[in-house]
Structure 1
Amino acid sequence: MKSTVSVAGRTRSFTAVGEIDGPGDRAIVLVFHGSKQDGEVHRRFTGNALDRLAREGRAVVVYLDGYRGNWNDARATSSFPARLEDVDDVAFARAVVASVSRSHRVEARAVVGVGYSNGGQMVFRLIHEAPDLLTGAVVVAATMPDRAGFLGGFSDSAADRPVPVVLVSGTADRIVPFRGGRMAWWARAMFKVGGAALSAPATAAYFARRNGITAAPAVEMLPERPAGRKGARMEETAYREPGHPPVTLYSVLGGGHTVPGAKPAPAVLGRTGADRGIDELVLEVMEALGRSA
């Protein structure tokens, strides 16, 4: 059932999944959908994979609804209604955390932002503009805008409040190029965005620097799923250094604009990563929070 909050004169909606009387130390997982979706569409798009965290009592999973199908992210050249009307999605995220903390009796010490595509860009904005809100992030099918195109404060130095970050990018993504640069003309027109972006590896390196990590990353293939689980293989590039939140890039080899997991995306979006699911990636961030606590 949907709930609502009032933010800057607008009524905004979201759906919280989890028992009201569950453990008080659960994480809150904020899920930001992609362009032209809403929370429920994205929930189905991922095969309800994140709901597992709610069933197991690990988290309250919250599917937020963007404004007319989009988030007012930090890309300078966005021109969809959420940007043109200057919708305050940072305040919306804060209001949702406060509301769910009350309704589900959660202490909200762990708040993980999960974003796909435009939703991933919204998570980038929250990391930079609301560093007190998110304690971890999982970003799928989105790479950082370049310095000129990022409104959230592109940084070359370590952050005061770094967070563990997991990134997922398909090497054959036709919408968000793995190697960075500008999106194809048809994608710019369809999604009403422009500008240039970093490559997926450069995005991971950016967040590693932001987390104060100076060590070189370790690269390895993930173990393949048992026979019968079809999908693209995934390569892990892991930035690890004691005392610093980790940053991990999962490159989906031959993968498209998709969320990894058991449910494949529509063929038009490309191949889906199968070696690790989105729920497992969120658990990875939650476990990193436990180690750093």
Structure 2
Amino acid sequence: MKARLSRFRLSWAALLLAFATACFASPAAATPCTGICFTPGDYSITTLHKGLLRNYLVHVPASYTGRTAVPLLLDFHGFSKDASNERQWSGQLAESDRRGFIAVWPNGVSLSWNAYGCCFLGDALNIDDVSFNRAIIAAMKAYANIDGDRVFVTGISNGGGMAQRMACEAADLIRAAVSVSYPLNRETCSPARPIGMWEIAGTADTTISYDGNTAPLGLPNDLAGIPLGVQGARASLAAWKRILGCSDDLYREQLPDGSHYAGSRFEEYRNCNGGVRTGLVSIANGGHVLYNGYTELGSNPDKAPIDVAPYIWDHFFNL
């Protein structure tokens, strides 16, 4: 077992702690770290989880002292991308420095996550990504002063699906989740407690259709990790309304038009079990990648009338 150092750093002692925590630790309360403790900086942690070498990147902001409990965010990359790509483009690195939370970017197996119905080897091999990410949360609580009431997850595409699955299966640890460009992709699930859940989706997404689609020729929706059929964004919102026992009252707000996005809107159910909320941000004419500034595909970096990362913290994770 070894750490991948490159631009990141991690002492051997901390690496050994990461290994032990991922394998054996249970979630800890938000108390100051008394052993091997994070200090501000960037880390790459490689650990063995259920027989697989797994890796995640961590950013501890300059404001972190360890004396005050801070929020924790897990930010999941999309299919065919990795943690460093999500770290570069999602905007959460800058928000970590701005708002003082610790950010983690996990790596999926073979650039994929085992979300509901997607994608590739993560899904086809039924990789236990939920327990891996639960172990990351436990590890962060072991060597940083994490506020257990403010643990959040987000991600894009296949990573958004991972955020959705964590909301269903790790709500005992997570306060709220936001999925970018991927629906729940099932009709129901059973969170351990009510959890805030939102989706941001583009109406012109040609990768994961905003309106959803069924698999052709009678094929299954999920074929060996390939999502041939997918739930629509509005159907996903309806599913979460049922799961969370929300009333029919729906708050609606038009978003700024931007240069190309007239008709973008935010809708939210605000009267749900446990006082949580669930909603949908619909980006009119928005595509699959909604991170402003993203230029890897050579397209216009103006992706949406909102800046996704600060919008998430201002509207959903401001708890």
Number of the residue aligned with 2:145: 105
Question: Which of residues 255, 265, 283 in structure 2 aligns to 1:235?
Answer: 265
Number of the residue aligned with 2:26: none
Question: Which of residues 231, 239, 244 in structure 2 aligns to 1:211?
Answer: 244
Number of the residue aligned with 1:172: 204
Does the C-alpha gap of structure 1 residues 272 and 191 become closer, same or farther in structure 2, counting only changes over 3 Å?
farther
SS of residue matched to 1:100: helix
Q: Name the aligned partner's letter for residue 4 of structure 1.
A: T
Instruction: Give 1:23 deviation, angstroms.
Output: 5.5
2:272 aligned with 1:272 = no
CA deviation vs aligned residue, 1:57-82 (integer Å, no higher than 9, x gap): 4311111111110011222xx56222
Number of the residue aligned with 2:89: 45
2:190 aligned with 1:161 = no
Return 167-176 or 263-272, whichever deviates more.
263-272
Does the C-alpha gap of structure 1 residues 159 and 87 become closer, same or farther in structure 2, counting only changes over 3 Å?
closer
Q: Name the aligned partner's letter for residue 114 of structure 1.
A: T
Does the C-alpha gap of structure 1 residues 6 and 268 become closer, same or farther in structure 2, counting only changes over 3 Å?
same
CA deviation vs aligned residue, 1:192-238 (integer Å, no higher than 9, x gap): 4135332211211221222221133122212356xxxx553531112
CA deviation vs aligned residue, 1:62-109 (integer Å, no higher than 9, x gap): 11111110011222xx56222333322111101111122223222433
SS of residue matched to 2:292: coil
CA deviation vs aligned residue, 1:93-132 (integer Å, no higher than 9, x gap): 0111112222322243321110211111112222222221
Number of the residue aligned with 1:200: 233
Question: Which of residues 93, 117, 130 in structure 1 aligns to 2:133?
Answer: 93
Instruction: Give 1:263 deviation, angstroms.
Output: 4.4
Q: Name the aligned partner's letter for residue 244 of structure 2.
A: N
Where does structure 1 lack aligned partners over 5 or more consecutive residues?
148-153
Please tell me whether the aligned partners of residues 53 and 60 of structure 1 are also in contact (alpha carbons under 8 angstroms): no
Number of the residue aligned with 2:312: 281
Return 108-117 or 50-59, whichever deviates more.
50-59
Does the C-alpha gap of structure 1 residues 101 and 126 become closer, same or farther in structure 2, counting only changes over 3 Å?
same
Number of the residue aligned with 1:130: 170
Distance in 2 between residues matched to 1:95 and 1:79, nearest whole Å: 21
Does the C-alpha gap of structure 1 residues 169 and 271 become closer, same or farther in structure 2, counting only changes over 3 Å?
farther
What TM-score, normalized to structure 2? 0.75
Q: Name the aligned partner's letter for residue 233 of structure 2.
A: A
Aligned Cα RMSD in Å? Answer: 3.0
The count of residues paired between Structure 1 and Structure 2 equals 270
Instruction: Give 1:45 deviation, angstroms.
Output: 2.8
Distance in 2 between residues matched to 1:120 and 1:97, nearest whole Å: 18
Please tell me whether the aligned partners of residues 293 and 302 of structure 2 are also in contact (alpha carbons under 8 angstroms): no
2:40 aligned with 1:8 = no
Question: Which of residues 272, 282, 288 in structure 2 aligns to 1:257?
Answer: 288
Q: Which has the higher contact order (CA 8 A, sep 6+)?
A: 1
Instruction: Give 1:245 deviation, angstroms.
Output: 0.7
Instruction: Give 1:9 deviation, angstroms.
Output: 1.5
SS of residue matched to 1:250: strand
SS of residue matched to 2:226: coil
Distance in 1 between residues matched to 2:180 and 2:224, nearest whole Å: 17
Distance in 1 between residues matched to 2:183 and 2:253, nearest whole Å: 21
Distance in 2 between residues matched to 1:88 and 1:112, nearest whole Å: 19
Instruction: Give 1:285 deviation, angstroms.
Output: 2.1
CA deviation vs aligned residue, 1:136-192 (integer Å, no higher than 9, x gap): 001000012244xxxxxx24xx8551111121010000011111123799xx99994
Please tell me whether the aligned partners of residues 292 and 301 of structure 2 are also in contact (alpha carbons under 8 angstroms): no
Instruction: Give 1:52 deviation, angstroms.
Output: 2.6
Does the C-alpha gap of structure 1 residues 30 and 64 become closer, same or farther in structure 2, counting only changes over 3 Å?
same
What TM-score, normalized to structure 1? 0.81
Does the C-alpha gap of structure 1 residues 6 and 269 become closer, same or farther in structure 2, counting only changes over 3 Å?
farther
Does the C-alpha gap of structure 1 residues 251 and 191 become closer, same or farther in structure 2, counting only changes over 3 Å?
farther
Does the C-alpha gap of structure 1 residues 267 and 184 become closer, same or farther in structure 2, counting only changes over 3 Å?
farther
Please tell me whether the aligned partners of residues 231 and 272 of structure 1 are also in contact (alpha carbons under 8 angstroms): no
Where does structure 2 lack aligned partners over 5 or more consecutive residues?
1-7, 9-43
